[in-house]
Amino acid sequence: MEYAEILYEKRDDAAWIGINRPEVRNAFREQTLDELAHALESTRHDPTIVAAVVYGVGGHFSAGGDFHAMMKLNKANSYMWNDRMLKVAMTCRNLPIPVIAMVEGACVGGGHELMLWCDLVITADDATFGQTGARVGACPTVGATQYIAKLIGERRAKEMIFLCKRYSGAEAAEIGLANEALPAAELQGRVEEIVQQMKGYSSQTLRATKVSLNFDSDALYPSWQHGMELLANIWGTEESLEGMNAFLEKRPADFHQFRVRNKNALDTYLDDFDEGRNQSEASQAARK
């Protein structure tokens, strides 16, 4: 497979896989996800590869999903996106080698979920970790709602998702979202050191223990499927499109209009209930 949206290189016994869409801070679309899954899976064909390193080209890990692609989603076609996300996630988790996220710049939204799927996270201390779904009308149910609480606790997870709270790379390492934080200039060198350290260890041990370590969180797989069904009911809604359009137009999203609309609809329902209009006209006449 020829790659147009990622870079792939085997170097110093590691597979280096870079999202190569710097013009959108490495936001990904369906084609990007296909290439990521293929590149990760291809490492199975070379047992000399010690680890896979996922990074972003041009100073950002990933700003998440590309809204120009996501705004085309709706309940009828959402599985085309959701299944791709799940494929990349499961490929990361099921590879027999460790997958390392090398993070700098933005690691937010779907990019933050990509980081969560990896085994180790080495970050620049000034990187930005966060979830943006509530701000843009999307739902982070393909990893974030499953794993963040396991890493940093439920209270912090809800704060991160409900309030779009962000952490620097240094803070991420302190609270357990990342393994290490260091100056950006030292980032690649440190990841290379880790790969060489792993090279001196037993590959079958790394493979077996990765499977064992994932046992508990593998039980969360049904929640991924549940989460994707929730997403199918989000994509393409007016509220979701308002959030994404507002982001692209660099204006505040007006989400409150939907609360007002829902209140008006509920008031109408309750009035119909109180006045007995939740029955046919014949039934109304018979009960007068």
CATH of the domain at 227: 3.90.226.10
Residues 117 and 68 in one domain: yes
Residues 82 and 191 in one domain: yes
Token pair recorded at residue 229: 């069904």
Residues 234 and 259 in one domain: no
Phi-psi region of 18 (alpha: psi -120 to 50; beta: other; left: phi over 0): beta
pLDDT tens across 8-29, in order? Answer: 999 999 999 999 999 999 999 9
Q: Do 160 and 143 meet the contact criterion of CB atoms below 8 Å apart?
A: no
pLDDT at 287 over 90: no
Domain count for the chain: 2
The pLDDT score that the predictor gives to residue 95 is: 97
pLDDT tens across 140-162, in order? Answer: 888 899 999 999 999 999 999 99
pLDDT tens across 223-263, in order? Answer: 888 888 888 999 999 999 999 999 999 999 999 999 999 99
Residues 111 and 18 in one domain: yes
Residues 231 and 114 in one domain: yes
In a domain, 243, yes or no: no
* Residue 105 belongs to domain spanning: 6-238
- Residue-wise burial string across 129-162, b where 16 or more C-beta atoms lie within 10 A, e elsewhere: bbbbbbbbbbbbbbbbbbbbbeebeeebbeebbe
Q: Do 137 and 167 meet the contact criterion of CB atoms below 8 Å apart?
A: no
Token pair recorded at residue 30: 């369906």
In a domain, 246, yes or no: no
Residues 225 and 265 in one domain: no
In a domain, 160, yes or no: yes
